[in-house]
Structure 1
């Protein structure tokens, strides 16, 4: 049995589910809602990389806030502070992907240690895990905040192995983010890529050890 480390954002929970809140608060056409959402997520990831590379760590909640401010400014939108708070709080209520609870439950019952390993800071991960109904099916929630950097820095994956008290190669990252899989594999962790979009693998970093298209397929493969 292994230590299974699930990414949260984009793997267990759908970051695009913020669009409902964006549409409600901004009251703009769906096309603009989609554009704001895509820019927000892209900048959220970019700012996490920049923060790590500049050795200027800020918690992921703060990074997410900066990215939202950029996305709104990019489309000449200027909601007030209360509206921004309502939009940002959508990250506490992301929808789990189909089969998320099923996969976690089956893998736990098979004897694996099942945890989240995410860039999210501990408080936001705990809120989301509870709101999405995932918390009862997890053994722990591990955050990059513990090492004050972000994936794909090897320190994040090494932290997971230490927390699980296992060798790094006895841990497996399960992620839908190809860059995350490449980083974990490069650090020495086993990997499963949940490739929902049938994308090619990254050409920098390690290739995935296993590839599936759904979360239940992860359980089919590893149970």
Structure 2
């Protein structure tokens, strides 16, 4: 995929990837299949982010797959389960099989019909995100993908969002992030972006995070509002 020719003053809607665009439901299904306690999927993902943020805050960058593997091994041991390579590979492989939420395709079609570009901005790897996009048949609707691996900086550090916008010569004021995580929206707002929070797993926006320009329950509504904000 390559970004379409941009106007002198590009408008870009950045989309978070995991949970915002692609559902984590298969992760829960896999952990249930392995007879792990209910809620282990949410605990695993929360601890994965915790470990990533801790490394990032201390000035250390590690890619998503490596952090996920380490966090999962620690969690499995704490649950009294073996963290052998076969089990780790079986669980972590789910991240390459995530389905897009039902509102993703119509939302990206709306973006395609606007003057805004649609760019995925992920803490995950570029290779895995490209696979998810292809497997879900939305590659013709995604203009580009930016991974934190490109800059060795994890979201939600504000510098990451600014660098992502700079890649396309886009002023932060002409950029917007749509995300299902308040911490992600907060980081984008701190970087000068507009921000829209979409309700996915969480049903309440964290009161200490930067106030989003909108709170929605549909990605289509997020794009419609985003296009208005970037006019």
Per the normalisation by structure 1, the TM-score is: 0.90
**Which residue of 192, 200, 206 corresponds with 2:205?**
200
Bigger drift between 101-110 and 72-81 goes to: 72-81
> In the TM superposition, what is the alpha-carbon distance from 1:79 to its structure 2 partner?
4.8
- How far apart are the structure 1 equivalents of 2:142 and 2:190? 25
Match of 1:173, SS state, is: strand
In structure 2, the residue matched to 1:151 is 155
Structure 2 runs not aligned, ≥5 long: 1-9
Bigger drift between 84-93 and 122-131 goes to: 122-131
Per the normalisation by structure 2, the TM-score is: 0.87
Does structure 2 retain, via aligned residues, the 8 Å contact 1:182–1:202?
Answer: no
Deviation by residue 1:29-71 (Cα, 9 ceiling, x = unmatched): 6xx1x33212210111101101111111111111111121122
**1:136-147, aligned counterparts within 5 Å?**
136-147=140-151
- How far apart are the structure 2 equivalents of 1:133 and 1:74? 38
In structure 2, the residue matched to 1:36 is 40
- How far apart are the structure 2 equivalents of 1:98 and 1:20? 18
In structure 1, the residue matched to 2:110 is 106
Structure 1 runs not aligned, ≥5 long: none
In structure 1, the residue matched to 2:30 is 21
Match of 1:116, SS state, is: strand
Match of 1:165, SS state, is: coil
**Which residue of 54, 59, 62 corresponds with 2:63?**
59
Match of 2:127, SS state, is: helix
In structure 1, the residue matched to 2:7 is none
Match of 1:142, SS state, is: strand
- How far apart are the structure 2 equivalents of 1:200 and 1:79? 34
In the comparison of the two structures, how many residue pairs are matched? Answer: 217
